Amino acid sequence: MKPLIKRRMFTPGPTPLLPEAVLQALVTPMHHRKEDFKALFREVQEGLRQIFKTRNDIILLTASGSGAMEAAVTNLLEPGQKALVGVAGKFGERWLELTEKYSIRTKTVEVPYGESVDPAQIGAALAADEDIAAVFVQATETSTGARMDLERIGALVKVRENTVLVVDGITGLGTMPIQTDTWGLDIVIGGSQKAFMVPPGLAMLSVSSKAWSRIEKCSRPRYYFDLLRERKGQKEGQAAYTPAISVVQGLKAALDYGFRQGIDALVSNAALLAGATRAAVIRWGMKIFPRAPGNAITCFVPPEGVDPSRVISLMRERFGVLISGGQGSMKGKILRVGHLGYFDFLETLGMIGCLELCFIEAGANLEPGSGAKAAAEFYRAAVRAS
């Protein structure tokens, strides 16, 4: 017997699409140089300001989040300038690849996979070098699920006139509180395919006036990712080059949806689903991998003797569910399931039950139903407490 299965992504991104967003893109023809699109574009920027909790400019780039990371590096820093990079996993390493590629003199504050970058170490590195012009960190490290203390890191950078703080918030936005202005985050980067519930294709950056001052002075050549050129046009709802129109349309629908729920409600929803999933993982006797986990994903260590890649295959074959394994040095050691964006409790509970069946089939000694029991108990306590 081959039961009917629906394909579902429980990956850290791309994430499930909001149907209203897909339909909006599908049914409304739009030209990016006409007035209706310009108005839509500005509404999307205003909506993103509320998500980012900022009054800074929002720039949309037709690129993945990595493109926006590159834009931040090439618009801010000349060759030979100094940067400090917090590295806690694969996406911290991506900042390093970028700064190295662009001949930036880089210092790192590095922690093992699963740990969070230590703000005290950031503080010490900054204190030791007045020339550090930019600090690059993640809000949450997607490869490990670890959450960074952006508020403390922001406080350290805010007081330095010549240093800007650049935050990769790609999995952090919409899953953890990010107070861009209050915490002094100069550039915050997001990607459409994460908590925003729309397809890949758009990256967004909030840019503070402190960051703009540096960008204005930066003479490094850049063309497609020229933030100054984008700032000029985007105030009028115009991207310099053809934007991913359907994703902008979808993003408007998703922001409308997000605001109906309330942004903080989206964050607490991710927290609820993450908490329920972790309750199951812990009940199964498995270890949550990061010391300070964010809500975007649950990253955990399967039991001895169970091959994580077998569990991943079984989830796909038996139940049509995509979950993720480890990246980089964590390959074959951990599992990751997503909570960012358009997920709800019912399907998360179903996913937990299916994951349990796959673990049992892969040789783990689990009591059937124990994960659902733990998740249900967590849910009851969480809803009662609120």
* Contacts to a second copy by CB under 8 A: 1-6, 8, 26-27, 261, 265-266, 268-269, 272-273, 318-321, 342-351, 353-354, 356-357, 360, 367-377, 379-380, 382-383, 386
Whose structure tokens read 């006036």? Answer: 209
Pairing of strands 140-141, 146-147: antiparallel
Is the CB of residue 30 less than 8 Å from the CB of residue 178? no
Per-residue tokens: 100: 């190295």
224: number of Cβ within 10 Å: 14
- Which class for 341: exposed (0-12), middle (13-18), buried (19 or more C-beta within 10 A)? buried
Amino acid at 252: K
Please state the closest distance from residue 175 (CB atom) to a second copy, in A. 12
**CA-wise closest residue to 12 among 274, 221, 317, 282:** 274
**CA-wise closest residue to 193 among 88, 62, 334, 32:** 62
Q: Which is nearer to a second copy, 185 or 354 (CB)?
A: 354
Q: Which is nearer to a second copy, 35 or 264 (CB)?
A: 264
Please state the closest distance from residue 292 (CB atom) to a second copy, in A. 22
The CA distances from residue 258 to 69, 84, 174, 303, in Å, are 25, 34, 9, 37
Q: Which is nearer to a second copy, 110 or 347 (CB)?
A: 347
Please state the closest distance from residue 191 (CB atom) to a second copy, in A. 20
Question: How far is it, in rounded angstroms, from Cα 17 to Cα 187?
Answer: 26
